[in-house]
Amino acid sequence: MRAIAVPTPGDAHALRLVEVPEPVPTEREVLIRVKAAGLNGADLSQRRGFYAPPPGAAPWPGLEVSGEIVQVGASVSEWAIGDRVCALLPGGGYAEYATVDAGLVLPVPPGVDLIDAAGLPEVTATVWSNVFQLAQLQPGEVLLAHGGSSGIGSMAIQLGAAFGARVLATAGGPEKVAFCRGLGAEAAIDYRVDDFVAVVRDFTGGRGVDVVLDIVGGDYIARDLEALATGGRIMSIANRDSAPSTIDMGVLMRKRARIWGTTLRARPLDERVAIIAAVREHVWPLIEAGRLHPVIDSVFPLEDAAQAHLRMESSIHLGKILLQLH
């Protein structure tokens, strides 16, 4: 089968279309004929040589796919050949076929295009596990989502608003600011011209936000703490430039605040299965009801994976970037 591999870490042009053996599902896995695969920041880090796939995962990139089940393992009873699904993977999504544990599979929601569904698993699992399970965002609280025009940011805005939170988002430039407002952000902050800490203080009357979803890291963490309300929670899920973060412990203690650093891909299988089950219970009904949707920026053929990575690195995209197969 065809897959996108990274023979030698490097820039986007390090990606190569290669022929690899078709994977074989184990007893608790299904084999998916991939229709589309979603791009994520982790793919870029893996391509650069900074984020190796976990043991047992396929070596090529790709953390989420959509497609049709073509084979099921001997112990799988909840899925059948022909089911249209999307799935969260530990790796291997940039390929014509992918195997995945049956517990990490979700049905394609009614009304969602099969290609677009590839943009759902990673963002819904990331936002739900961080913002709602760990940070326990409550109705009426204030959520600040950095990178509001990204795939994760666009889902955080929609989910926060759907569950009754007041949502603020940061983004770069007028077009992205308008995009965030269109998704449900009450205030969108152009970080190129405005200080998000000052805007947060003005928006909340000096109180601060309850939860920050941070995909930037580095010096943003200290500023997140400045913007935080007493008892607030910072969820740090990426560190774009691998820059160190320095915070004032006195401020952290006075605000009785919490900072979590989390990843999704490296969690034990049972934790990821539990997250997917929660997403299906709490998020999928909202998608089925049309209250939120996958936000797709662009779709590239598999063989143009390098161009897709370049678009993601340019930060001009609005929402998810996908690779299409078959």
- Residues 180-206: tens digit of each pLDDT: 999 999 999 999 999 999 999 999 999
Read off the pLDDT band of 241 (50, 70, 90): low
pLDDT tens-digit series, residues 142-160: 999 999 999 999 999 999 9
Q: State the DSSP string of 37-60.
A: EE--HHHHHHHHTSSPPPTTS-SS
* Strand pairing category for 84-88 and 64-72: antiparallel
Q: What would the mean pLDDT of 105-127 be, rounded to a whole number?
A: 97
Predicted local distance difference test score (pLDDT) of residue 169: 97
Query: Which residues neighbour 313 within 8 Å (Cβ) at sequence distance 6 or greater?
Result: 12, 44
Residue 267 tokens, joined: 């969690």
For 87, the token pair is 């799935």
| Lowest-confidence region among 177-191, 242-256, 274-288 | 242-256
State the average pLDDT over residues 112-119.
98
In the numeric block, which tokens belong to residue 30? Answer: 């299904």
Q: Rounded distance, CA 84 to CA 114, Å?
A: 7
Record the pTM. Answer: 0.95
Cα Rg of the chain, angstroms: 19
CATH 3.40.50.720 residue window(s) in the chain: 124-261
Domain 2-120+265-324 CATH assignment equals 3.30.200.20? no
- CB atoms under 10 Å from CB of 17, counted, come to 14
Tokens of 197: 């800490």
* Of 243 and 287, the one with more pLDDT: 287
- For residue 122, the model assigns a pLDDT of 97
How far apart CA 157 and CA 143 sit, in angstroms, is 8
Q: What are phi and psi of 42, to 5 degrees?
A: -60, -30
CATH code 3.90.180.10 region(s) in the chain: 2-120+265-324
**Residue owning tokens 């677009």:** 116
Q: What is the pLDDT of residue 286?
A: 97
CA distance 306 to 5: 11
End-to-end C-alpha distance for the chain, whole angstroms: 11
Q: Which CATH number fits domain 124-261: 3.40.50.300, 1.10.357.10, 3.30.450.80, 3.40.50.720?
A: 3.40.50.720
What the block records as the tokens of 178 is 């308008």
CA distance 323 to 141: 36
